[in-house]
A and B are shown apart, each in its own frame.
Chain A
Amino acid sequence: MDRVLRIVSRPAPADRTVEANDDVQLVASLRAGTPRATTDLVERHGNHVRRVLFRVLGAEDSESGDLFQEVITQAWERIDQLADPRALKAWLTQIAVFTARKAIRRRRRRRWLSFFAEVPETTSGALASWAGPDLQEAARCVYRILERIPVDERIPFSLRMLEDLDLEATARACGMSVATVRRRLVKAERRFFKMARQYEALGPWLENA
């Protein structure tokens, strides 16, 4: 089997067609092993996947690049398991959430009962050009707090607050029922603001409800 993935010098009409295709066609292309389908997937939904990872792990997480690749690889390998091709984006969100959850749990396992916590090096200053020092410090505090919140509460909380997903979308992304998500959001919110009071840098950002 010989497949052309990408023609750079002379773009074939088929390439342009693929670019214009919707998710259903993209899924069909991925399943058929059509050339360029993988890069189309990255081009079309890569930013969304990265945004989900950013929301959950923070923009300064040095592992997010690796996790992004993991999400794309998993999607590519499991594309046959996607029941409804129209739900490609939601499915990718689920994979991203699952991958991030795995990464968080892995880190926690490593830290548990250890005398020294081995944490991924943060890409210090990732937000530097785009946010003032107060926001940078607040961002660090937020993710420091999130690290202390149970992962099944932390993820829906991050998606709800930062990605502004509604309850149903949050539940879908996390593979939970709406009722469960609602319950966990309440708990996470309570934990977050309880801890947030201890961080001076967050003071200016907190408002009375």
Chain B
Amino acid sequence: MTPPPLLRADRLWRRLAQAQDATLERELPPAPQVRALRRLRPRPVAAAILTLGAATALVVSLVHRAPAPLQVRVGQGMPTGEMDRVLVADARSDLPLQFSDGSNLTFHAGSSGRMQRLGDDGAEVFLGNGRLEAHVVHADRTLWLVHAGPYRVRVTGTRFSVVWAAGWLDVALFEGSVMIDGAVLGAGVPLRAGQRLTVDRGTVRTEALTNAATLIAATPARAIAATPAEPTVPGEAPPAAGVAAGAPTVAAAGAPAPPAPAAPPATASAVLAPSAGELAVLRSRASDGDWYTLAKQSAYVESFAAAKRAGWTRLCHRLDAHRLLALGDVARYAGVRGRARQAFEALVTRFPRSPLAADASFSLGRLAFEADQSDRAARWFRRYVADWPHGPLADQAVGRLVECALRTHDAEAARGAARAYLTRAPGGPHARLARQVLRDGAGTAAAGPNPGVSP
């Protein structure tokens, strides 16, 4: 029997709780904070181990080196780490910002803003006026913020667009999730993929994105813009040789949106939201073969319905690679993952050598990852890396493999993938996580290379 504690600290608990409550009362409702700067604190164990030898210290110092801050290329300029820079897109062309971690932001024609912060974990951008599209590469510890007037969009790996003009905020979220806070949104409103939030004169609205045709900006460039000439018979596959030859490989999630019409702030809503009449016409015209037309109009729900009427399985058996990719994206944006999987799998099966099969493989991995099927996701990501080791998404696929292995608590696979990732992209968005995996796992399992990952 253990003797009871000999000490008490009731007064301390009481005073501490009171102080915390007072702090709580004093503070405003918390908004997502910019991740605080971190400091390094030496641990007692470190000193002991450091004495073991300079060689160990050298290895560790390499493992612990700080990740490089992000660099950004503005337009056609040279990559730079310059902050607090004014960004203005001229009236007729977009201003793209390409970040060293693979993320990209695009200020649409006529829009302006400012780069407020560039860190090793993300960036902070101020949208002064106009429209901004973003694709932020997913990583565990990224922190991206987009300020629009009094509002703030906190992003952790996603694809979305923000419009800020004359007090009107419009956020359309195509992938991932964000938290938007500030002004009338108070402590924050979470937004999920496929949703749109608008704030206009104090009125906050959320609506499903799929019906709103706001996806002009979200139209998957790889699926729609990269489409070659129309086949003779709509919906039928042209000869396979033509498919492979004309297929540019574009980063699935990282592809910038196709040039959208310039959106002057005053008319932004008109550009973003076609009239109900237009949609009605589209719907009424939707015959079995029109799913692709509807997809190009970003009417994904209608497109999906039309494709189903045409016979989803039949389409999967007959469409060419480009349309199959578009078909998968239609299902994905309509929120029907099973059908999306079917289309992407058809592409991978029927056109295994097409560059678009790489995109489909990555999409299949991402679908499984989003559905918490880490094993299945890892298989697709491994396949991507094995079959397209120099593909545009290969680094991201290896990074995802690290995350898959962590989710399944497979230390050995995590270390193998982490090592492969650091070999490929030592400054990439998953580099920090990969180093963490190698460091934390040092004492656990004997690390072996992951056979599925091409270093």
Contacts and interface: CB of A to CB of B under 8 A. Distances in A.
Interface string A114-154: 11111111010011011100010011001000000000000
A118 B7 contact: no
Nearest to B47: A115
Contacts of A14: none
Contact of A65 (B2, B32, B184, B190): B32
B166 interface: no
Determine chain B's interface SS by DSSP, over half rule. mixed
Interface stretch (B38-46, B229-237, B380-388): B38-46
Contacts of A55: 17, 20
Contacts of A82: none
A110 interface: yes
A26 interface: no
A207 B8 contact: yes
A85 B11 CA distance: 36
Nearest to A67: B30
Given A202-B12, A209-B5, 15 more contacts: A3-B206, A5-B206, A7-B202, A9-B203, A39-B186, A55-B17, A65-B30, A117-B42, A117-B43, A119-B38, A119-B41, A121-B38, A138-B16, A206-B8, A208-B8
B17 A120 contact: no
B39 A39 contact: no
Contacts of B239: none
Interface string B1-35: 01011111111110111011111101001111101
Contacts of B314: none
A208 B7 contact: yes
A113 B440 contact: yes
Q: What 8 pairs between A and B have smallest CB-CB spacing?
A: A8-B202, A121-B36, A65-B30, A205-B12, A5-B204, A115-B46, A130-B22, A131-B19
Contact of A46 (B36, B57, B187): B187
Nearest to A33: B206
Nearest to A143: B16
Interface of A: 1-9, 35, 38-39, 42-43, 46-47, 50-51, 54-55, 59, 62-66, 68-69, 72-73, 76-77, 109-121, 123, 126-127, 129-131, 135, 138-139, 142, 161-164, 186, 189-190, 193, 196-197, 202, 205-209
Interface centre among A130, A163, A196 (most CB of B within 10 A): A130
A139 B13 CA distance: 9
B5 A59 contact: no
Given A5-B189, A119-B41, A162-B13, A127 B19 contact: yes
B102 interface: no
B436 interface: yes
Nearest to B37: A121
Given A118-B38, A130-B26, A189-B5, A59 B19 contact: yes
Contacts of B49: 115
Given A59-B19, A118-B38, A196-B7, A113 B439 contact: yes
Interface size class of B (residues with CB under 8 A): 35 or more
B208 interface: yes
B169 to A, nearest CB: 12
Contacts of A138: 12, 16
Given A51-B24, A110-B440, A130 B13 contact: no
B205 A2 contact: yes
B442 interface: yes
B298 interface: no
Contacts of A197: 7
A51 B21 contact: yes
Interface in B239-271: none
A27 to B, nearest CB: 17
B64 interface: yes
A39 B182 CA distance: 12
Contact of A116 (B22, B41, B203): B41
A158 to B, nearest CB: 10
A139 to B, nearest CB: 6
Contacts of A73: 177, 179, 190
B60 interface: yes
B418 to A, nearest CB: 14
30 contacts: A2-B205, A2-B207, A5-B197, A6-B203, A8-B184, A9-B201, A38-B189, A46-B29, A47-B24, A55-B20, A62-B33, A64-B30, A65-B31, A66-B32, A66-B35, A68-B187, A77-B190, A110-B436, A110-B440, A113-B443, A114-B43, A117-B40, A117-B42, A130-B19, A135-B19, A142-B16, A162-B20, A196-B9, A207-B9, A209-B5
Contact of B23 (A2, A65, A115, A130): A130
Contacts of A118: 38, 40-41
B49 to A, nearest CB: 7
Contacts of A51: 20-21, 24
